[in-house]
Structure 1
Amino acid sequence: MISHATRIFSVKGFAGASTREICDAAGVNLSAIRYYFGDKAGLYRAVLERPIGEMTAAFAGFDASHLSLEQAMRMLLRPFVEMSDNAQLEAQVMRLHLREMLEPSDIFREVVGQAIVPAHMAMCAVLARHSGAREIDDDIHQLAFALVAMAHDYCMSREFMNMLAPGVLGRPDAVERIVDRLVGYAEALVAAERARRRGAGANTQSASDSSAAVP
């Protein structure tokens, strides 16, 4: 039922989708929605949660403290790049989530709070650790946004990428090569953030020493 609901919600949105149409497509009675999901909103929540749950399960454990930055980023970024066996379902999920990112519903906000925020904070903790940050600040959040955006584009923009440069995604070893590059980019950005923080710290110390030396 969730697959049929994903297709219909992706085309018509939550308000425009009919529970009867979904049940007819799935070959079940209307009572099935009430039994399994409670109501239409519960079904919609399940539709939103399934791909997010699959993604977070795929990179689970990336924030383990014993992992190097390279290992952590490889675990985290790879699921964004891997090709789905069901391109049609993947396109439906992307269409649905694009609509939600433009006009987020209350249900989507709840799903984000429950599933995506914890993953984001775990990523920020990893980045803070490897950037030399004492705490997660706005710059660490921005760094996380940048890294996820690079990888997320391979989920959201594959057809556009194929129009621009079909060889990138069409290579036999496309996933491995793309992930290798993304991990390298991630390491470079983290190194730049670490250097920036060290430079800022050195400048602050120098200014403090100069002030102390003034009679």
Structure 2
Amino acid sequence: MKINQALDLDEAGLQERGARARERLLQEAMRIFADKGFAKASTREICQAAGTNVASIHYYFGDKAGLYRAVLLCPIEALTSEFANFDDPALSLEEALRCLMAAFLSPVGHGEGDEHAEHGMRLHLREMVEPSATYKELIAQHIQPHHQRVVGLLAKHVGVPGADDDALHQLAFALLAMVQDYCLSREFMKVLAPALLDGEAAVRKVLDRLVGYGVALVAHERAMRAVATD
């Protein structure tokens, strides 16, 4: 019995150390990929920064491309987990938009300390300027389904039966662009309006207004359709 317990403890310890090593690789890879891009980033440099041997990338991720894919996926999964239930039928439109938009704004109120989030944003900005095949694949697999959920939510509140309407896609892009800009343009905002995002209370006020703007956009789309059918 004692031998089995010792073996279980050893195995648990190995798993914990492995999980920590994998997480260090992801964090250091995100920083280095964000600074240098995929092509110029060295796997040796990443492993040295993470305190692991070069073989660890092969062990956990297959190869450099697998590591890069995992690094790109981390912020996407973190974001989508925060708004997982935004289209719950029990939620009002305002509640649904608040759930969705709050997920995008949550890193904004954390100040300067969240370097991991900063690196993730910089890496995704690189990909938005010059998207790789890996990034396009991740968009199709992990972002498009959530976009379709947003469009479905809007179809419900606009009062149309289908979610294949181009205007609804445009409305979804408009709603998310409003809130995404607070992440993408944060450095500009710090210069142009320093108090706007100064602390969590300020960010909550921004969220309140954005939700109101979103509700107004949906009402405008609904009114335009009503006029068109008269």
Is the structural similarity TM-score above 0.5? yes
1:148 aligns with 2:172: no
Q: 2:121 aligns with which of 94, 103, 121?
A: 94
Residue 205 of structure 1 corresponds to which residue in structure 2? none
1:130 aligns with 2:157: yes
Residues 132 and 197 in structure 1, CA contact (< 8 A), matched pair in contact too: no
Residue 173 of structure 1 corresponds to which residue in structure 2? 201
Identity %: 54
Change beyond 3 A, Cα 1:172–1:6? closer
- 1:109-120 alignment to 2 at 5 Å? 109-120=136-147
Question: Deviations along 1:193-212, whole A, 9 cap, x unmatched?
Answer: 0001111111xxxxxxxxxx
RMSD, aligned CA: 1.2
Q: Which stretches in structure 2 are left out of the alignment for 5+ residues?
A: 1-24
Q: Counterparts of 2:135 and 2:198 in 1: how far apart (Å)?
A: 33
Residue 29 of structure 2 corresponds to which residue in structure 1? 5
1:41 aligns with 2:41: no
Q: Counterparts of 2:181 and 2:81 in 1: how far apart (Å)?
A: 20
Q: 1:53 aligns with which of 42, 59, 77?
A: 77
Residues 110 and 199 in structure 2, CA contact (< 8 A), matched pair in contact too: no
1:200 aligns with 2:228: yes
Q: Counterparts of 1:79 and 1:44 in 2: how far apart (Å)?
A: 24
Letter in 1 for 2:150: M
- 1:67-78 alignment to 2 at 5 Å? 67-78=91-102
Q: Counterparts of 1:11 and 1:175 in 2: how far apart (Å)?
A: 28
Question: How far is the alpha carbon of 1:96 from its aligned partner?
Answer: 0.8
Q: Counterparts of 2:155 and 2:200 in 1: how far apart (Å)?
A: 35
Question: How far is the alpha carbon of 1:133 from its aligned partner?
Answer: 2.0
Question: Deviations along 1:90-117, whole A, 9 cap, x unmatched?
Answer: 2211111111011110110111111110
Q: Which stretches in structure 1 are left out of the alignment for 5+ residues?
A: 203-215
Q: Counterparts of 1:134 and 1:127 in 2: how far apart (Å)?
A: 10
Residue 158 of structure 1 corresponds to which residue in structure 2? 186
Residues 128 and 135 in structure 1, CA contact (< 8 A), matched pair in contact too: yes
Question: How far is the alpha carbon of 1:172 from its aligned partner?
Answer: 5.1
